[in-house]
Amino acid sequence: MSVSSLRYSFGGDEHLFIEVGEAMSMAAFFRSMSLVKAIEALALPGILDVCLANASCLVRFNPDVLPPQQLLEQVQSLEDRGNAQRTLTTRIIEIPVLYNDPWTHETLMRFRERHQEPNSTDLEYAARINGLKDVDEFIAQHSGMPWFVSMVGFVAGLPFMYQMVERDKQLEVPKYLTPRTDTPKLSIGHGGCFGCIYSVRGAGGYQLFGVTPAPIYDPEQRLPYHQESMVFFRAGDIVQFRAIDRENYDRCLEQVDKGEFSLRIKPVEFDLDRFEREPLVYHAHLQEVLYGD
């Protein structure tokens, strides 16, 4: 299935699923985002929610108000309304990470029987299958290029992130053979081509690489960057990971406890065409936006 065609299917009585592409890509995300905005602009009575995902979207509707076939025809009519949006007003955010931390290490060692390589750690396994010489080289690649938040969900506030590099340079690591029943809160995970940050403690199947001190889901909204929403991340955010040491991590936790912790967040106009033409040049531009104070 190409990004140029859409696939429609109904889920039960109240959902219309629209698949833009079979594989995640920046082009598929932007097409999905444009479609979501166009559906919302229709303002059809009976539409309850429109949810954006990596390369698809889901419409929840009331079939007693909006007949399914009528909704389908209205959405299909949007396909011929020009090209997808290619620019986005968004944020670039620095997320500090303590890689190879003791808490995710203890957790992953408890679940080695569920892993592809019980005799290695998740970082060691990820480095090997990506053709990298060691864990340090993997961490350098993981934190060296920014990540694009393509959807938020699964559990409250969890961002799915896609690294902004050419497809043949994507870091790819399969999920555990069987999911864990425990994952520390704020773990940095990876499954397939997607990275994530586990917003809360719970089950999970992604490989574990480290932990961030930065809360990303806060119902109490204690920290300054949570004032707008208890869920920090939004689809379209750009994330730059920064490796930190244990001393820095502990200092960040003290600031979190005092309600004084902050993140480096800068507004940015993202241009998909510029990025696709010269990813490395555009990466330098994003670094200048984030750190060029």
52: tokens are: 């954006």
Asked if pLDDT for residue 38 goes beyond 50, the answer is yes
pLDDT value of position 201: 96
**Average of pLDDT values for 130-153?**
96
The topology (CATH level 3) of 89-291 is Cyclophilin (2.40.100)
The topology (CATH level 3) of 7-84 is Gyrase A; domain 2 (3.30.1360)
Give the pLDDT confidence of 42-80 residue by residue, as tens digits. Answer: 999 999 999 998 889 999 999 999 999 999 999 999 876
pLDDT value of position 163: 94
**What are the domain boundaries of the chain?**
7-84, 89-291
Q: Is the dihedral of CA 153, 212, 147, 259 positive or negative?
A: positive
Strands (E), 38-110: 47-52, 56-61, 87-99
Rounded Cα gap, residues 132 and 26, in angstroms: 25
Strands (E), the chain: 7-11, 15-19, 47-52, 56-61, 87-99, 147-152, 159-163, 187-191, 194-197, 207-211, 238-243, 265-271
Which single residue is written with the structure tokens 């940015």?
A: 268
Give the pLDDT confidence of 208-240 residue by residue, as tens digits. Answer: 999 999 999 999 999 999 999 999 999 999 999
pTM above 0.75, yes or no: yes
CB atoms within 10 A of CB 106: 11
pLDDT value of position 83: 62
Range of lowest pLDDT (48-62, 79-93, 257-271, 276-290): 79-93
Pick 197 or 5 by higher pLDDT: 197
> Which of 228, 179, 234 lies closest to 202, judged by CA?
179
